[in-house]
Structure 1
Amino acid sequence: MNKQLWQDTFSVDFQLLAISSPLADFQMAWHINEHAKFSLVRAKDHFIELKKGHFLNTSCFQHQTENISIKLLKNKLNESEGPQAFLIPEMKNIDYFLLIQDDTEELEILNVKSTLSKIKNVILVQILDANRLKSVVNLMT
C-alpha cells in the first residue's frame, strides 16, 4: 500500500504544535518543562525510512502519563549528520513539533501555545491540523 493511500485511510489522534527556535533540542525541552510544567525526558530517537535505503534519525523528548503523551520531535537533522533532511519536508521553516495526545482533554492547546510563545528565543508557535500535512505519517512511525 503506498504512503498516500495509507494516509488517506486514517486520521490522527493528536494535537500538533509547530515551533521555530534556534535553541538546541535539549534546551527547548528544558524550557518547555520550565514554562509548561511538563516532564519531557530524552527518549529513544525517532527513526523513519524516508526512501528505500535513506533513513532519518531525529531527537525525541517525551512526557508520558497514564492518559497523556507529549513528544517533542526535532524536524531538522544537523548538517554534520549528513545532507539536510526534514521529518516533515513541507515545513522546512519549522524546527520542532510538539505532539499532544490527551485522553482526558485537560490540556488546552491554546494555553500550551500561549505558554510556549513566552519562551525566550521561540520565534513562532503555531497550531497545525496534522490531517492536512502530506508527511504526517513521519510523525507516527
Structure 2
Amino acid sequence: MPIYEVNINEFSTDDYTLIGIHTALNEYKLAYLLNKHLQVKFNRASYDLDFIQKGSQSSYTVYEYTNVKLCQGWFLIANVYKSTLEVESISLFKESESISHLIPEKRKVDFFLKLEGDFDYESIVKKIETINQIPQIITSYKIEVNSLKSKDFLIF
C-alpha cells in the first residue's frame, strides 16, 4: 500500500499582494478615502482578526471589498491594536496603554492592503501611486510577502 505525505505548505497560499500604508488616520477614515480614490467599496467585515499572545488578547479590524467580475478580493487590515489596562498600583496614572502589532517585523506600518486575485504589475504600481497622492497618507509601498516571518497571520 502506498504512503502519501502531505506538506503543510501546500495548504498555505501566498498568492496575494501586500501593500503597507503609513498614516495617522483611523481605519474608517482610511477606508473612506480609499473608496473615494480607488473607486472601490470597502465595508467593515463581519469578523476581526483575533489573537491571544502572551496572555493578552488583540483584535485587528478588517475591511473588505470583493470585485466579482474580476475575481479579486481586497482587504484593509489594521496592523496596530491598542488596549487600555487598569493599573492597580499607586501611581499618577490609573491606566496604561498596551500596543501590539499583527506583523511585528513591520511595526511602523499602520495598515496592510491585501490584494487577492489576478493583479498585474502595472495595476499594482498605479494603485500605490494613487494611494500616495492622498494627502492624509504618509506613504505606501509593496511588501514582499516571502520576507515576512509572521505572514501566516494574514491568511484568513
TM-score range, shorter chain: 0.7 to 0.9
| Matches of 1:86 and 1:98, distance apart in 2 | 15
Asked if residue 75 in structure 1 is aligned to residue 82 in structure 2, the reply is no
- Could you state the TM-score of these two structures normalised by the residue count of structure 1? 0.84
Q: What is aligned with 1:122?
A: 137
Alpha-carbon shift at residue 83 of structure 1 (Å):
1.8
- CA distance 1:29–1:51, shift in 2 (3 Å): same
Structure 1: segments with no counterpart, 5+ residues: none
Identity of aligned residues (%): 22
Verify: 1:135 aligned to 2:135, yes or no: no
Distance 2:58 2:9 in 1: 19
- Judge conservation of contact 2:49–2:62 (CA < 8 Å) in 1: no
Matches for 1:12-31 after TM superposition, within 5 Å: 12-31=14-33
Q: Deviations over 1:61-114 (max 9, x none)?
A: 100122010000000012448621001011110100000012365971101100
* Bigger Rg, which one: 2
Runs of 4+ in 1 over 4 A off after TM superposition: 5-11, 104-107
Matches of 2:144 and 2:16, distance apart in 1? 10
Q: Give aligned pairs, total.
A: 137
Q: Which has the higher strand share?
A: 2
Secondary structure of 2:113 counterpart:
strand
Select between 76-85 and 61-70 the one with higher mean Cα deviation.
76-85
2:51 counterpart residue number = 49
**1:111 is aligned to 2:126:** yes
2:114 is aligned to: 99
Counterparts in 2 of 1:117 and 1:136: CA distance versus 1, 3 Å? same
Deviation at 1:120, TM superposition (A): 1.3
Is the 1:61–1:73 Cα contact (8 Å) retained in structure 2?
A: yes
2:154, 2:77 → 1: CA distance? 8
Give per-residue Cα distances to partners, 1:6-54, cap 9 Å, x unaligned. 6798551100100000011000000000001011011124324353654
Alpha carbons of structure 1 residues 136 and 129: separation in structure 2 relative to 1, 3 Å:
same
CA distance in 1, matches of 2:119, 2:138: 30
- In structure 2, the CA distance between the partners of 1:7 and 1:119, relative to structure 1 (3 Å rule), is farther
